[in-house]
Amino acid sequence: MFKKVLIANRGEIAVRIIRACKEWGIETVAVHSDVDSDAMHVRLADESVCIGSHQPQNSYLNISSIMSAVDLTGAEAIHPGYGFLSENAKFADVVNKHGIKFVGPSSDLISKMGDKIEAKKIAKKYGLPIIEGSKGGVKTFSEAKSLCKEIGYPVLIKAAGGGGGKGMKVVNEEKNLEELFLLAKSEAKKYFGNDELYIEKYFENPRHIEVQIMSGKNKTVHLGERDCSVQRRHQKLIEETPSPVLTDSQRKDLLEKTVRMVEQIGYEGAGTVEFIYENGKFYFLEMNTRVQVEHPVTEVQTGIDIVKEQLWIAFTGDTALKQSDISPRGHSIECRINAENPALDFQPSPGIITVCHQPSGFRTRVDGSIFQGCKITPFYDSLIAKVICKGRNRSEAIQRTLRSLDEFVLEGITTTIDLHKKILSHKKFVNSDFDTNWLSKEKFF
């Protein structure tokens, strides 16, 4: 196994990776910006290197600074986590050309599957159903206008080179198209350095379902699906597994087709294939070529350590998992705890945590990087922790999650904890009668 791994990330995912490395007996290197010098991931790592100022482009997105930290510490591999440079093909290429192992797929596959237009072509080639839309990038308004007439409104405009809701606009009628097209183009350029857009049919009441895969040179296996339909502004808040809306035959079909596609493209590592599900039908959405924020809910459900397996695949090229050994049981739920004020349109809530008591107990897990006295800065994503609970069935999982959220005490900042309690207690959630647009329609505050 690797002797030393550098974690090119911060926050809870950096802590998660450090824990997995320690269980493999691997020494760890944390990189950090100037404002993160006292962060939990820095405290837990064996070594740490400051790589720049708090602006992400000067630190966590600074490839040369990260590679300098590798040279300085003698790390043999880099784990990118999620976000930042995790799906940056150039970064993966630079890492590998320096003789360092990138914990993830090849730069070629990162590039292909990270481009939503190219990814749709690949998915279609290998038998996955795709959403009706543009076959390539849409560069001009006149192209967009013609295509939208052909598809029919409503339509969804997306940035070809990114995600997370940036550069994404729903257009319900033609009179709004030009304004939203130009706005999406501007956002795509700002956030991803690429203003290429694509347009597809918009689903008004969809579920968002994704499949977790682990793949090596020897074989590809799945770890089941997750239902990620509780979202705000196209960003997930609650994930659960298994999906409460799928039949056994639908699940079998989805999982088998996904494994087949991933196997055929020669993928190595952990990956997630995402789908829109509406009226009993699936449509390929995108593939994330990295570990997901919501990976713990699958770990709790299956008993498989996804991050440790990522490291094993990176080191050996093969996965040690067998499909026959993976047998999910019960039901699991994950809640993302963000430093945000839901009553003020999810406005970020930076500050110092003055009181921190995290829940525990039977089948309750908390992934985070927070502690009493730690500073939540305004410079990075507002996710600070995740609460993951498992039950014998969905009802028990909901009750256990509510009990755990009641135990979670954070003072000094505003969080989404109370919102999660309201969602999990809501009749529509209990009955699984919701879609990705539910939170935007429901008044919780």
Which residues are marked as active site? 290
Torsional sign, CA 159, 164, 167, 172 = positive
Integer Cα distance of 155 and 223 in angstroms = 32
> Checking phi first, is residue 25 left (phi over 0); if not, alpha (psi -120 to 50) or beta?
left
Check if the beta carbon of residue 411 is closer than 8 Å to that of residue 355: yes
Q: Are 339 and 353 in contact (CB under 8 A)?
A: no
Q: Closest Cα to residue 322, out of 215, 212, 211, 221?
A: 221
Q: Report the b/e string of 433-443 with b at 16+ CB within 10 A.
A: ebbbebbeeee
How far is the C-alpha of 13 from the C-alpha of 180, rounded, in Å?
34
HEC readout, 36-98: HCCCHHHHHCCEEEEEECCCHHHCCCCHHHHHHHHHHHCCCEEECCCCCCCCCHHHHHHHHHC
Task: Check if the beta carbon of residue 333 is closer than 8 Å to that of residue 397.
Answer: yes
Which residues are paired to 199 by β-bridges? 157
**Dist. CA 263–CA 251, nearest whole Å:** 18
First CA to last CA across the chain, in angstroms?
Answer: 50
